């Protein structure tokens, strides 16, 4: 298995684990970025040693592989993901950085490793000056996401005992390869439960898209200009999402996506905006990453000089996804594509009840965003 293939497998399994944990904790719609988290934790893992390194490697899917393979794959992966789309109108911005307490001697070898392997920097900050530290981190997040990620960290997570934050912010803006006609958008019921519905603006089109019916659900893939696509996983039953989430595995998710074939489909999906902010310390501990957050057991000997207690305080993420007729976030004009009429019955994909969604990079297979839509705000 190549380094990149190992990272893809580990990243997909990691995405599934985090999603499953959040699905239990959250009752509403949510979205997070497995890719952003994977990158931030991989950077932190590069500075870990001993059992801390082993636990983090297990959570990242590298317990049977050397740490060298994990980090050897990240530089070429990030080069692909950071490469601008040749068709424009689509961008994926990932802000990544580590924020240790100022005064802790971060090793130059570790700084150099982050610069060359991750195109990232270490940003020392004085957590004893909580408001100033908050301003610095929030300014950095806004500057690295085209101003879209604001108020990233609050004073509720920072205090004088903070030692290290692994911070990532991710922003996606895209235009559908085949845009929805605004005149076809209509108000329709979205079934929150079998007996309760709310009104949503439902977008409609008939187009050639990726589609498959499998395992009592429908999978739809809509492409953006460039290399990203959005995948909808819709259970056949109105109350089927909970079972889908319980049965979800990385292997199943990968199989569903590989099975989609391009065909003509009647598509109805809601306009939506999901915004989430997560403090993921407890989730990661429950997944097995324990020592990194323990002041007495954390080993970051590849990151800082020995002699001072140094541990991971929190892992924070803020992400959002917005879907409209043009795409996600920004409106743009693209040429319409003429299609031939099919002689076979055209299936319908009507996302009028809770579903799972994800945005993936088709070149690498990495999941950039993953979440669910269960109740319109």
* DSSP letter string, 293-360: G-TTT---TTTB-TTS-----EEEEEEEEEE-SSEESS---------PPPSSPPPEEE--S-EEEEEE
More confident residue, 332 or 345: 345
pTM confidence score: 0.87
Instruction: Identify whether residues 266 and 317 lie together within a single domain.
Output: no
Lowest-confidence range among 50-64, 185-199, 275-289?
A: 50-64
Instruction: Identify whether residues 98 and 225 lie together within a single domain.
Output: no
- Report, as an integer, the average pLDDT of 215-244: 93
Instruction: Identify whether residues 206 and 237 lie together within a single domain.
Output: yes
Half-sphere CA count of 78, side-chain side, radius 13 A: 23
Neighbours of 151 (CB within 10 A): 11
Instruction: Identify whether residues 256 and 352 lie together within a single domain.
Output: yes
Give the dihedral sign, CA 251/256/261/267. negative
Is the pLDDT at 328 greater than 60, yes or no?
no
Instruction: Identify whether residues 100 and 138 lie together within a single domain.
Output: yes
Whole-angstrom Cα distance, residue 97 to residue 318? 14
Which residues fall within 8 angstroms of residue 361, CB to CB, at 6 or more apart?
35, 80, 81, 92, 227, 228, 368
Instruction: Identify whether residues 18 and 136 lie together within a single domain.
Output: yes
Whole-angstrom Cα distance, residue 107 to residue 105? 6
Domain end (from 300, 321, 342): 321
Number of domains in the chain: 2
Whole-angstrom Cα distance, residue 363 to residue 9? 14
- Report, as an integer, the average pLDDT of 172-190: 89
What's 200's domain CATH number? 2.30.39.10
pLDDT digits (tens, 9 = 90+) for 291-323: 998 888 989 888 888 776 778 878 888 777 888
Angle at 198 between CA 29 and CA 367, to 5 degrees: 25
Instruction: Identify whether residues 80 and 150 lie together within a single domain.
Output: yes
Instruction: Identify whether residues 92 and 235 lie together within a single domain.
Output: no
Half-sphere CA count of 210, side-chain side, radius 13 A: 18
Which residue is associated with the tokens 């819709």?
A: 234
pLDDT digits (tens, 9 = 90+) for 101-121: 888 788 889 888 888 888 888
Instruction: Identify whether residues 160 and 11 lie together within a single domain.
Output: yes
Torsion of CA 174, 22, 188, 367, to 10 degrees: 30
What's 76's domain CATH number? 3.30.497.10
Instruction: Identify whether residues 282 and 310 lie together within a single domain.
Output: yes
Range of 212-216, 224-228, 334-338 with top mean pLDDT: 212-216
Question: What is the extent of the structural domain holding 131?
Answer: 3-174+274-321
Instruction: Identify whether residues 45 and 135 lie together within a single domain.
Output: yes
Whole-angstrom Cα distance, residue 251 to residue 325? 32
Neighbours of 331 (CB within 10 A): 11
Q: How far apart are the first and last CA of the chain?
A: 43
More confident residue, 166 or 20: 20
Domain end (from 321, 341, 358): 321
Instruction: Identify whether residues 88 and 147 lie together within a single domain.
Output: yes
Question: Are the C-beta atoms of residues 219 and 257 closer than 8 Å to each other?
Answer: yes
Strand-pairing partners, residue 269, are: 203
Whole-angstrom Cα distance, residue 60 to residue 226? 28
Characterize the bridge pairing of strands 272-279 and 197-214. Answer: unpaired
Neighbours of 83 (CB within 10 A): 12
Whole-angstrom Cα distance, residue 176 to residue 226? 9
Which residues fall within 8 angstroms of residue 303, CB to CB, at 6 or more apart?
46, 47, 48, 100, 106, 107, 110, 310
């Amino acid at each position: 298995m190549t380094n990149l293939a190992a990272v893809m497998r580990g990243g997909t399994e990691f995405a599934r684990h985090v999603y499953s944990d959040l699905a239990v904790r959250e009752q509403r719609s949510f979205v997070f970025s497995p890719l952003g988290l994977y990158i931030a934790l991989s950077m932190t893992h590069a500075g870990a040693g001993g059992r801390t390194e082993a636990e983090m490697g297990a959570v990242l899917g590298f317990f049977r592989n050397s740490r060298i393979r994990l980090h050897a794959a990240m530089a070429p992966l990030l080069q692909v993901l950071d490469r601008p789309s040749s068709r424009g109108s689509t961008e994926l911005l990932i802000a990544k950085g580590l924020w240790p307490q100022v005064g802790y001697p971060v090793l130059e070898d570790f700084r150099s490793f982050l610069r060359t392997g991750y195109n990232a920097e270490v940003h020392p900050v004085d957590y004893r000056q909580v408001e100033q530290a908050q301003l610095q981190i929030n300014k950095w997040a806004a500057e690295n996401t085209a101003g879209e990620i604001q108020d990233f960290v609050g004073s509720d997570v920072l205090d004088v005992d903070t030692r290290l934050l692994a911070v990532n912010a991710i922003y996606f803006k895209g235009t559908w390869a085949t845009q929805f006609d605004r005149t076809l958008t209509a108000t329709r019921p979205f079934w929150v439960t079998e007996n309760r519905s709310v009104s949503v603006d439902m977008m409609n089109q008939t187009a050639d898209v990726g589609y498959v019916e499998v395992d009592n659900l429908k999978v739809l893939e809509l492409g953006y200009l460039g290399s990203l696509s959005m995948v909808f996983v819709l259970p056949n039953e109105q109350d089927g999402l909970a079972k889908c989430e319980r049965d979800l595995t990385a292997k199943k998710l990968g199989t569903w996506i590989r099975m989609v074939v391009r065909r003509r489909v009647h598509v109805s999906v809601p306009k939506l905006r999901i915004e989430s902010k997560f403090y993921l310390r407890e989730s990661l501990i429950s997944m097995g990453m324990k020592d990194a957050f323990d002041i007495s057991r954390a080993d970051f000997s590849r990151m800082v000089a020995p002699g001072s207690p140094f541990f991971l305080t929190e892992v924070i993420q803020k992400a959002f996804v917005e879907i409209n007729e043009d795409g996600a976030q920004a409106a743009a004009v693209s040429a319409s594509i003429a299609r031939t009429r099919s002689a076979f019955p055209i299936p319908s994909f009507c996302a009028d009840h809770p579903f799972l969604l994800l945005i993936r990079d088709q070149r690498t297979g990495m999941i950039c965003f993953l979440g669910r839509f269960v109740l319109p705000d």
